Amino acid sequence: MPMPNAKIDNQRMEKIVSLCKRRGFIFQSSEIYGGLNGLWDYGPLGVELKRNVKNYWWRVMVHERDDVVGMDGSILMNRAVWKASGHEDTFTDPMRECRFTHKRIRVDQIDPQSGTVMQFTGWHSPVWKLTGTFRVLMRPDEHIESFRRRVRRLVAENPLPDISPKRESRTAQPLKAEDIELLGEEKVSSVKDSFDFHPETGAELTAPRAFNLMFKTSVGATEDETSITYLRPETAQSIFVQFKNVLEVSRKKLPFGIAQIGKAFRNEINPRNFTFRSREFEQMELEYFCRAEQGMKLLEYWKEERLKFYENIGIPRSKLHVKNVVDEERAFYSKGTYDIEYEFPFGVQELEGVAYRTDYDLSQHQKASGKSLEYFDEDSKQKFIPHVVEPSAGVDRTVLALICEAYSEDEAPDEKGKMETRTVLRFHPRMAPIKCAVFPLLKNREELVAKAKEIVALLRPHMLVFYDEGGAIGRRYRRQDEIGTPFGVTVDFETLGEKDIALKDTVTLRDRDSMKQERVKISELVQILLQRVN
Ligand code: GAP
């Protein structure tokens, strides 16, 4: 059962966002120009983590199965695809707009507000005179004078074009808040639980309108109706439209699946919670085609498989919730949908949807394209349109869940034995960006450095390793703990056989979580580590 009231921990989330930037997991896109809302760049460690997620998904969903093949479709497709799939007409969110700033907000994200509705019948300034009414919510703790200043500022910065103000001056100087005189101020009512005002500006909202979430673009030299298409909002559609080609070349029999990982774009109106709701993101989708009578059973099967996947990358079952999406909330063509949710620090939120989409998608494309998308069953000699079960996961949400799950603070002794707070990312070794760090105990001892570099070269073909010779060994361990490196190898004087010849060519292998060290032979290092990180 979902836990809508799971604890919200904003402070933890702030620490995670800050660590992500500080250590190079995730940066704001175009940061030096002030960024662009809902868009993110993955830094050196983030890109490794992301690749580990995608590679493991591909391994268990494609390589380790006989019944799934992969594909990689284009992001831009013929507009007809989006007409047939229903996206052009119905991939919308109902939105309301602040009358002043035009900031949009999704109808379902407007929280109840309280305050006093103040109505103005116009305003006057050296540049404009306006008659017409507008309403702004005065908050319960707001003083009337500061409220009036706020409204004047709102008016100065965002003159209302939708009530055609009369221009009184030829030189359209920028308005100054202090020159604005508010006319006809009237207290309308006290509201509780009002849904009519923008939560940030407090100004009244327009009536709900449907906004399409797809980014429109055009292909070719001319920009007219015929060149219009969209950046794909999901990867699934290219799988449906290539169903026949893939079926023919792979010679698979039902049930079988086609998998794809790739970028998707949605002009989300309120991107939020760090990367959770972004405008550009990656999906990992499987369309698993089957006979109608297998649909509901396969929905259960894939839900369980997907839960196992998350457990295998280090997200415990206890933090995952399965929401059985009720009839009213499901797409009309779906006979059953589960949302797999995770307890993020900002609440329980969807990681993945597993949906039984019936034969809707293939039927739509068959109808619109006029090309047969039927399957011929050799045994019964029947032709029919297959049904499909779709586990659809977000790469970025999985990465975020992994970071949130891994983040922890504990106490560990510093070089002088004094306890200090240690920040650790407890990634499952399979997911950790860097698998092993290699340290010579001292950087000014040539033999130690040479041996450590030899070990780096030994491990490098098998995994991502990091060499670090700078600073005290304790500091070097901490730096790796903070980015989640599960293993550390230290080359010391025993390695050189200086203290005990029996220990020659052995190293210490340190475990990030327990901080315990074991002595292992260099010759066995690759095998030991591979067993633990795969
Ligand atoms: N083909 C089905 C489909 O696209 P969806 O529930 O809209 O279904 C599937 O998306 C997954 O894609 C979500 O569970 C989520 O992990 C990811 N996703 C969707 N919108 C996203 C966004 N704006 N930012 C990040 N991930 C998103």
CB 369 within 8 A of CB 363: no
Protein residue with its CA nearest to atom 20 in ligand 1 = 277
| Contact 365 CB / ligand 1 (< 6 Å) | no
pLDDT at 3: 46
Distance 125 CA to ligand 1 centre (A): 48
Q: Which atom of ligand 1 is nearest to the CA of 352?
A: 14
Q: Which two tokens stand for residue 244?
A: 């026949």
pLDDT at 355: 98
Q: Helix, strand, coil shares of the chain as percentages rounded to 5?
A: 35, 30, 35
Our CA angle for 84, 88, 94, nearest 5°, is 135
CB 514 within 8 A of CB 532: no
| Contact 337 CB / ligand 1 (< 6 Å) | no
Instruction: Count CB atoms within 10 A of the CB of residue 96.
Output: 22
Which of 392, 396, 398 most suits a substitution to test ligand 1, by most atoms within 8 Å of the C-beta? 392
> What does the DSSP assignment read for 118-129?
EEEEEEE-SSEE
Predicted TM-score (pTM) of this structure: 0.87
Distance 314 CA to ligand 1 centre (A): 21
Task: Note the Cα 390 to chain centre separation in Å.
Answer: 19
CB 533 within 8 A of CB 486: yes
Over the chain (534 residues), the average pLDDT of each successive run of 10 is 63 96 97 96 98 98 98 97 96 89 85 86 82 88 94 83 53 77 85 71 89 93 85 98 97 97 94 95 98 97 98 98 94 95 97 98 98 95 97 98 97 84 96 98 96 98 97 94 98 93 96 96 98 94
| Contact 396 CB / ligand 1 (< 6 Å) | yes
The three-class DSSP label of residue 394 is strand
Q: Where are the beta strands (DSSP E) in 252-335?
A: 256-265, 280-290, 320-324
Tell me the C-alpha distance between 409 and 291, whole Å. 50
pLDDT at 155: 87
> What does the DSSP assignment read for 331-343?
-TT-SEEEEEEEE
pLDDT at 1: 39
Distance 91 CA to ligand 1 centre (A): 13
Q: Which atom of ligand 1 is nearest to the CA of 339?
A: 14
| Contact 397 CB / ligand 1 (< 6 Å) | yes
Scanning 106-255, the segments in alpha helix (DSSP H) are 144-157, 236-241, 243-250
pLDDT at 415: 76
| Contact 351 CB / ligand 1 (< 6 Å) | yes
